[in-house]
Structure 1
Amino acid sequence: MSTPISPLTSPARHATWPEYLLAIAACGLTTAITIPLHDWLEPVNTVMLFLLTVVLIATRLGRGPAVLASFLSVGLFDFFYVPPRWSFAVSDAQYLLTFAVMLVVALVISQLTISLRLRAHEAQQAAQRSDALYSLASHLAGALEVEQVCDATQHFTQNQLHSSMRLMLPGHGDELAPALPTQAPLSTTMALMALAVYRDYKGHGAQHAGDDEQLHVLLPLAGSTRARGVLIISTSHAKAQQLDTQRTLLDALASLVATSLERLHFVNVAHQTQLEMNDERLRGSILSALSHDIRTPLTSLFGLADTLTLMQPPLPAPAQDMASAIRDQAMRLHSMVSNLLDMARLQSGQQAGQLPLRLEWQPIEEVIGASIQLLGHSLHGHRITVQLPDKLPLIAIDAVLMERVFGNLLENASKYAPPGTDIHVQAQTSPGQMQISVRNAGAGFPADKLSHVFEVFERGQPESTIPGVGLGLSICRVIVEAHGGHIEALNPPEGGAEVCFTLPLGTPPTIEPEQDLEADGGPDAAPDATLDTDLEARR
């Protein structure tokens, strides 16, 4: 996957005694080669050979042996080549300048050679690390699971940093969990530090010297929108200083891992979205089939059963009861199918942002009354008590859809209320909104489902014998939210179940005083009659 850094001899390290001895031997070899050529070589050429030896020693052995070779070359040149030979005495003072220049040049050349070698060593390390990071990025780009991200990252840290790593990812709530089940759990101190680094994901991480004689470097994995986890690099204390010098590499590693984890997250989100879209298409196809293939025979079945109940002469009593039962069950099934189709249409319009609303300024008490009258015998003998303030303002609503909301809430309340109990409808205003509630005296909603009862096909009591498919409250939520309101389910302290929803008030139009209308010759009942006619036509 990645190539480990080659074990080059570092120019900054301390030389060993064998290397000093090798420098002395090299200077001695240069002297042995040049002594027989003394009569043919000029002193300046001999100096060049000694300087060449210093360069070679600096290149191969480092700074210490090179400095030793510089002084040793000056001494050998003085002893063997400067008159009087075979002694360190100097007959001409000019040779002192030669010695000084030779020593300075040798030291400068050795230093330049060491610096050049150091730069070459750093350039080679940087190139190898760039190749390793490129290789890691390639493997992370092709990773499809978190396990593959961990494997690629572990291989990189072992080869390039000679360390081990652990990847901590966010779990339930605000906790961090190991990315792999095989990873050892963190100590309490490490877990708290990792959580702090995760929360401050825009920081620079932290370091911790653990009781296991290892240094742990904690790096935040910062994504574009939020933290993706914490990367922990662990190494021995002996290699801690080396790890400190690799901060740029560590930051690059953390950035690559964070990018890979974020990519996996968005790929998973896209996959889930695609599944939901496919589910939505399938549901639309099923509902379309229901619309064309089931509603028509249901209508025919209801009509035939109703005809049987009205036949003259009447059918025998058992047959009459069976025909009535068939008619009632067909009507119930027709109502369920209608709910399914209405829910599909409402959701499609809501998702497209085009849910058609015919908003008109209406008195809410008339909508409530129309809903109660429409339900009729389906309320199962429950008495409906309506408590409204004396002066409720008009509210901009789609009266037909809002009748559907009250009808579903009242029918649902009557199903689950004990026989003979009252169902209470209340309305009141607060700044900017109207609050409406429907409450019964039943057992209430299950406490663990208060936030789910408005979901599609969700029922308060899944095993209940009470008929229904769990669409009534879902339809209510879609209609209320389309009006800009909010709906919720409650269990009041006094018992029973309560559904509350709010509607925005807006600014209703000004209604002229009654005497003005009479002066204009307009009867009081005309607007109400027009409203009733309009509601009846829209049903």
Structure 2
Amino acid sequence: MKFLRFFSTFPQPHSPCARMLWAVIACVIATLLAWPWRDFLDPANTAMLYLLAVAVVAARAGKGAAIAAALLGTALLDFFFIQPRFTFTVGDVQYAVTLAVMFAVALIIGNLTQGLQREKEAAQERERQSNALYQLASQLAGALTLEQIEGMTRRFLHETQSCQSQLLMRHGEEMSPVIPGQTPLSGKPYYAVKAALQQGAAQATLDGALHWLILPLHDTPQARGVLVLSFYDVGLLGNERRPLFKAIAALVAASVERLHFVEIAQQAQLQMTDERLRNSILSALSHDIRTPLTVLYGMADTLAQSALPQALHEMADAMRQQTFRLNSMASNLLDMAKLRAGDIRLNLEWQPVEEVIGASIKLLGPALAQHPVSVVLPADMPLLRFDAVLMERVLCNLLENAAKYAAPGSSIRIAVRADQKFAHLSVCNEGSQFPIDRLERLFELFERGDIESNVPGVGLGLAICRSIVSAHGGSIYADNDAGACVTFTLTLGEPPVIETEDEYE
């Protein structure tokens, strides 16, 4: 083995002539070493030197040179060491068997040695690739931007694979380079990029003398981008290099995903901070404002009930109404701050929904004076489990909104229905409509159905409704099917059995 390792230090020949020269030199050296011992060694033992020469040639010069060395070694053994010498005539039949066996063994040794050499080279190549991938992964782990990922990948591929690369990211239906100013792809490479994204698989194409390999950053059609490789050596498209390129694309994809989720986490952290700050401000403002508003409302109510001239009486009544409206807004702000902070405790009880509907209508008597209210309720409506105070707040907000945006004299309808799992409660008015493009945003903080409306409000009523309904495990949505309608759901569950008086007797 040490002898073979010594020969492995010599540079490997590449040209056919150099390989044949290795075969000739190895056989000549074996002949020169064996010639002084021609009278003492049996030809079968001398053949071992030629087998060693064949093994050396196979390790360094390849299979073709090993076959040539086997043929030449067999001929030299016959010519110099088998009687009669210096002829190719075999005087004894057993020597003919020796030559045949030597030739066969030489071929086998050459093939085995060549196979071991290929496995060794493949193992060394895999080791180099693994080390290179480890270095690339280490570099990409510290990348903070897509530009850094693109630059690291491009340098790595240029230095280790002698090819050019470009990182393209998806923006809707189009692909754009990460580095601004790079020439966009066109022709066959462009269509190969489209195919790679649609199929989620690597695509290879030829454009002139330049070979292209398109690698999606994920094996799915939803890849965030592609890694584009270009090179002149067609050997890089072989099956031996494909796993390496796919591994590089996987590393790039993992780095891109990491940056994406880091960005999402940062945005979520900023949103949480903003929400916390906003809730704190809302809570502080609403709490500090409610006390002076209550005092002002009391003073305005006292003035309105006093014996004043008509003009002053109307002014005092207007002050009382505006103060009441401000107090309601401050209450909404405080409630919203509590709900957003999770400071809500539900007092859930089984109770009929018609009671909370009636209480809400009675509470909003003055606001509903110009709007007749109709209630559609099934006769067999079961009991529902909810917090009566909070559910009354939901219905009051919905009824107040319906009254504010409905035309004077138009009716408001409350409809209740039940299916197998949920109870659906709807509050609708006639004539008005929600903006179609804002149906989902109506329940966000400070969102109003009509931004340009002169109707007073800050856009908290529906947001409070959604928070309360969500705390009950339900959902809420708006539509324009029968006027401007807001519908929320409550889980039916299994209400307790109510025993009649006859069952006690």
> Is the pair's TM-score, using the shorter chain for normalization, greater than 0.5?
yes
**1:466 counterpart SS class:** coil
1:297 to 2:274 alignment: no
Q: CA deviation at 1:19?
A: 2.8
TM-superposition CA deviations, 1:18-71 (whole Å, max 9, x none)? 432453355456657877x57898576865655554444333322222222232
1:382 to 2:382 alignment: no
**1:480 counterpart SS class:** helix
Asked if the contact 1:346/1:355 (under 8 Å) is kept, the reply is no
Residue number among 348, 372, 375 corresponding to 1:358 in the alignment: 348
User: For residue 221 of structure 1, what is the aligned residue in structure 2?
Assistant: 218
**1:130 counterpart SS class:** helix
Tell me, in whole angstroms, the C-alpha distance in 1 between the residues paired with 2:414 and 2:159. 72
User: For residue 194 of structure 1, what is the aligned residue in structure 2?
Assistant: 196
TM-superposition CA deviations, 1:62-85 (whole Å, max 9, x none)? 222222223223333444455555
**1:453 counterpart SS class:** helix
Tell me, in whole angstroms, the C-alpha distance in 1 between the residues paired with 2:21 and 2:494. 100
Q: TM-score, normalised by structure 2?
A: 0.80
TM-superposition CA deviations, 1:439-493 (whole Å, max 9, x none)? 2234411111011111111111223232111011111222233334332211236
1:502 to 2:495 alignment: no
User: For residue 269 of structure 2, what is the aligned residue in structure 1?
Assistant: 274
Asked if the contact 1:15/1:61 (under 8 Å) is kept, the reply is no
Task: In structure 1, list runs of 5 or more residues that go unmatched.
Answer: 1-7, 199-204, 521-539
TM-superposition CA deviations, 1:121-159 (whole Å, max 9, x none)? 111101101111211222232233334444444445555
Asked if the contact 1:362/1:399 (under 8 Å) is kept, the reply is no
Mapping of 1:160-309 within 5 angstroms? Answer: 171-172=171-172, 175=173, 177-178=175-176, 180=178, 182=182, 184=185, 190=192, 193-198=195-200, 205=201, 207=203, 209=205, 214=211, 216=213, 218=215, 221=218, 228-229=223-224, 231=226, 234=229, 239=234, 243-309=238-304
Mapping of 1:77-476 within 5 angstroms? Answer: 77-82=77-82, 84-91=84-91, 95-159=95-159, 171-172=171-172, 175=173, 177-178=175-176, 180=178, 182=182, 184=185, 190=192, 193-198=195-200, 205=201, 207=203, 209=205, 214=211, 216=213, 218=215, 221=218, 228-229=223-224, 231=226, 234=229, 239=234, 243-310=238-305, 314=308, 323-349=316-342, 355-364=345-354, 366-379=355-368, 381-389=369-377, 391=379, 393-396=381-384, 397-476=386-465
Tell me, in whole angstroms, the C-alpha distance in 1 between the residues paired with 2:318 and 2:166. 68
Q: CA deviation at 1:116?
A: 2.8
* 1:473 partner amino acid: L
* 1:344 partner amino acid: A
Asked if the contact 1:206/1:217 (under 8 Å) is kept, the reply is yes
Asked if the contact 1:306/1:324 (under 8 Å) is kept, the reply is yes
Asked if the contact 1:216/1:234 (under 8 Å) is kept, the reply is yes
User: For residue 66 of structure 2, what is the aligned residue in structure 1?
Assistant: 66
Tell me, in whole angstroms, the C-alpha distance in 2 between the residues paired with 1:130 and 1:460. 60
* 1:114 partner amino acid: Q
Number of residue pairs matched by the alignment: 490
**1:221 counterpart SS class:** coil
Q: CA deviation at 1:113?
A: 3.0
Tell me, in whole angstroms, the C-alpha distance in 2 between the residues paired with 1:43 and 1:390. 114
* 1:424 partner amino acid: R
Tell me, in whole angstroms, the C-alpha distance in 2 between the residues paired with 1:339 and 1:290. 11
Q: CA RMSD in A?
A: 4.1
Task: In structure 2, list runs of 5 or more residues that go unmatched.
Answer: 1-8
Tell me, in whole angstroms, the C-alpha distance in 1 between the residues paired with 2:417 and 2:287. 43
Moved more, 273-282 or 253-262: 253-262
Tell me, in whole angstroms, the C-alpha distance in 1 between the residues paired with 2:185 and 2:227. 12
Identity %: 43
Gap change, CA 1:29 and 1:409, over 3 Å in 2: same
TM-superposition CA deviations, 1:153-174 (whole Å, max 9, x none)? 44455555555556566654xx
**2:88 counterpart SS class:** coil
Moved more, 420-429 or 408-417: 420-429
Q: CA deviation at 1:301?
A: 3.0
Moved more, 235-244 or 382-391: 235-244
**1:467 counterpart SS class:** coil
Asked if the contact 2:361/2:396 (under 8 Å) is kept, the reply is yes
Gap change, CA 1:121 and 1:9, over 3 Å in 2: farther
